[in-house]
Copies of this chain bind each other. A is one copy, B any other.
Amino acid sequence: MTLMDITLHPIGVIHSPFTDLADMPIQPSGEASASGTLEIFPQFSAGLKDLEGFSHIILLYYLHKVSRMQLTVTPFLDSEPRGVFATRAPVRPNPIGLSVVLLQKIEGNTLFVAQLDVLDGTPLLDIKPYVPEFDKRAEVRIGWLEHARGKARFTRSDRRF
Q: How many residues on chain A are close to B (CB under 8 Å)?
A: 76
Q: Does residue A67 face the partner (Cβ distance < 8 Å to B)?
A: no
Q: Indicate with 1 or 0, residue by residue over A2-39, a CB within 8 angstroms of chain B CB atoms.
A: 11111111110100000000000001110000000000
Copies of this chain held together in the complex: 2
A 133-157 contacts with B by CB, 8 A: 133-137, 139-146, 149-150, 152-153
Q: Flag if A140 contacts B134 (CB, 8 Å).
A: no
- B7, B96, B126: which contacts A93 (Cβ < 8 A)? B126
Q: Which residues of A contact B (CB under 8 A)?
A: 1-11, 13, 27-29, 41, 43-58, 60, 62, 71-72, 81-88, 92-94, 96, 98, 100, 123, 125-137, 139-146, 149-150, 152-153
